[in-house]
């Protein structure tokens, strides 16, 4: 049930307290497994193997998953976590967009978890770390790797060096965000020139555009576009594409209209700015304003056949102006458009088709 309830933008943290066992396969390789606290460690029927945990992680949509296992685990084929780059530390939101399935255990192979206190040292360190103690660089962000480093130090110190928490990744190359701080303004983390800001915005815009071309997630494309706008608030093309996404892929007419107006403000020489605004206004029933916006798009590009088609639809279906609809559909065909409904409307109303379409 849980994998179906967790979305891609959610962060999933699972805490487990129980037993850990280890067996061997036919080749003598250690195979670790977990057993819930209320079951016997020898009860294989209730065990959770690494393969099952990996399968669960695969089915969960969440980009970031962190398992906190209050036990000692061995016999798991895992990968040591990769350290964040300098750029990642200065702008962690960039590094941590990657998928991350990570695991932290209370102790290493063959070690006992000291439980002389309740909660035990592992849990105490986790709680203190989440309350801010693990944010050693004081940048407001808390990543799983930072928490693991803090927990390891605290538990080793409190246990007198006999209990060593382990941290590894099951899948992905990112780092789970536990506390999100203020986003860095730019990828470099420092002051940049306007040209560098525009370049950073363009990179995010290009990635968003590419994602749509490849029919990938519209939600992730929106994340990219918002980053582009964050890097350079005047990057008009990002508003154009953002408005289109809210109009056609992630329906939200309020957001679509806001983005379209920003597009016209910051990219007035892009005909798609006014064209997209016109489409949004048409969808919201503001037909005269939609006509004005589309006419403005044609003032920028008089041969934009798609705009003539949309104008024809607006006149024919909403403004009920047959003469203007005929003219718009005809111009659509004259400027290279091939839409069948434009031809049909002209023929039904006795208007000859342009010679290029006959």
CATH of domain 2-179: 3.40.50.1460
Using 50, 70 and 90 to split pLDDT, how confident is the model at 354?
confident
pTM of the model: 0.51
Residue 273 has pLDDT above 90, yes or no: yes
Using 50, 70 and 90 to split pLDDT, how confident is the model at 183?
low
CB atoms within 10 A of CB 181: 14
Kindly compute the dihedral angle of the four CA atoms of residues 88, 94, 95, 96, in this order, to the nearest 10 degrees: 130
Label the pairing between strands 142-143 and 48-49: unpaired
The residues near 315 (Cβ < 8 Å, ≥ 6 apart) are: 291, 321, 322, 324, 325, 328
CA–CA distance, 271 with 6 (Å, rounded to integer): 40
Where are any strands of DSSP class E within 48-205?
Answer: 48-49, 64-72, 100-107, 142-143, 166-172, 177-179
Where are any strands of DSSP class E within the chain?
Answer: 11-24, 30-36, 48-49, 64-72, 100-107, 142-143, 166-172, 177-179
Q: Is 5 helix (H, G, I), strand (E, B) or coil?
A: helix
Q: Cα-flanking dihedrals φ and ψ of residue 189, to 5°?
A: 80, -5
pLDDT per residue as tens digits for the range 34-90? 887 666 766 656 778 777 887 787 777 778 899 999 988 765 655 555 554 444 444
CA–CA distance, 277 with 283 (Å, rounded to integer): 10
The residue written with tokens 């006509």 in the block is 291
CA–CA distance, 20 with 71 (Å, rounded to integer): 6
Return the CATH number of 196-357, one of 3.40.50.300, 1.10.150.120, 1.10.10.10, 1.25.40.10.
1.25.40.10
Delimit the domains of the chain by residue range. 2-179, 196-357
The residue written with tokens 């390789």 in the block is 29
The residues near 310 (Cβ < 8 Å, ≥ 6 apart) are: 275, 278, 279, 282, 294
Q: What is the pLDDT of residue 170?
A: 81
Looking at residue 79, what DSSP letter applies?
B
CA–CA distance, 327 with 308 (Å, rounded to integer): 9
Residue 93 has pLDDT above 80, yes or no: no
Looking at residue 61, what DSSP letter applies?
-
């Amino acid at each position: 049930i849980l994998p179906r309830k967790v979305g891609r933008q959610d962060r999933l943290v699972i805490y487990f307290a129980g037993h850990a066992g280890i067996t061997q396969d036919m080749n003598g390789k250690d195979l670790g497994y977990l057993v819930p606290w209320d079951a016997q460690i020898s009860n294989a029927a209730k065990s959770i193997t690494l393969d099952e945990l990996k399968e669960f992680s695969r089915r969960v949509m969440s980009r970031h998953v962190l398992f906190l296992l209050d036990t000692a685990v061995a016999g798991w084929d895992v990968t040591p976590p990769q350290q964040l780059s300098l750029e990642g530390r200065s702008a962690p939101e960039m590094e941590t967009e990657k998928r991350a399935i990570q695991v932290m255990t209370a102790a290493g192979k063959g070690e006992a978890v000291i439980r002389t206190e309740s909660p035990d040292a592992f849990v105490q360190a986790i709680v203190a770390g989440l309350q801010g103690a693990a944010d050693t660089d004081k940048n407001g962000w808390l990543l799983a790797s930072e928490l693991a480093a803090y927990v390891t130090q605290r538990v080793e110190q409190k246990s007198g060096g006999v209990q060593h928490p382990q941290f590894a990744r099951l899948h992905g190359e990112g780092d789970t965000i536990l506390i999100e701080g203020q986003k860095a303004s730019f990828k470099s983390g420092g002051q940049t020139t306007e040209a560098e800001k525009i370049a950073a915005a363009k990179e995010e815009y290009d990635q968003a555009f590419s994602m749509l071309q490849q029919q990938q997630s519209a939600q992730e494309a929106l994340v990219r576009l918002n980053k582009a706008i964050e890097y350079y608030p005047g990057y008009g093309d990002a508003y154009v594409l953002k408005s289109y996404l809210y109009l056609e892929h992630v329906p939200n007419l309020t957001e679509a209209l806001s983005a379209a107006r920003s597009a016209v403000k910051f990219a007035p020489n892009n005909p798609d700015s006014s064209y997209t605004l016109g489409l949004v206004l048409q969808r919201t029933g503001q037909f005269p304003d939609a006509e004005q916006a589309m006419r403005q798009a044609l003032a920028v590009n008089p041969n934009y056949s798609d705009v003539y088609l949309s104008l024809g639809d607006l006149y024919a279906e909403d403004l009920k102006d047959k003469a203007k609809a005929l003219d718009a559909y005809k111009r659509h065909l004259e400027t290279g458009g091939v839409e069948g409904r434009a031809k049909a409307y002209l023929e039904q109303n006795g208007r000859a088709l342009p010679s290029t379409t006959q």
